[in-house]
Structure 1
Amino acid sequence: MRALGPAGRLVAFSSGGGVIDAYELLVRGASAISFQMAAIARGEPETYARWRDELWDLYRDGTLRTRVHAEIPLAEAARAHELTESRSAIGKIILRP
């Protein structure tokens, strides 16, 4: 919320948890919008299929890239769990054999 400017829009596209202060949105003249792909897949399968195909096309042509936060040896899996639980990782955590 601190990064949200006046009349800004908060877009939530995952289940990251936490609570959004509706009053803070109101006094900033801001708004929030969210969606969950699983809900769209269940309720609007045609929309989901179209979006999925468009996203795969963007990934294949390099427009979308996977961000990797860390590659960690499997022997250090506990460290990967700590990163995940601390919510400090931005991107994927890859465990290597």
Structure 2
Amino acid sequence: MKQRKIFKDLLERPKALVLPGVYDALSAKIMEKLGFEAVFTTGYGISATLLAKPDWGLLTFSEMLDRARQITSAVDIPVFGDADTGYGNPL
């Protein structure tokens, strides 16, 4: 089953879905091994681990996407991505 469908099914359940924030492949794998059914990428966590700085928009879309790819490749559970400001402009 595709991760998108699995995530949709998780959201449609009547109980709350707890998504721990992850920032790299190892933290995602640990959460999966602990039994979480899905995780989310945390912009702050990714920024802090890559730059040792808060999430002030210093990372590019490509850098965030690269980290998201590393995370999704490491686990077999859905990963909800933090797209920050969307990396676009008003137009």
Q: TM-score, normalised by structure 2?
A: 0.29
Task: Tell which structure's C-alpha radius of gyration is larger.
Answer: 1
Q: Which has the higher contact order (CA 8 A, sep 6+)?
A: 2
Higher strand share: 1
Q: TM-score, normalised by structure 1?
A: 0.28
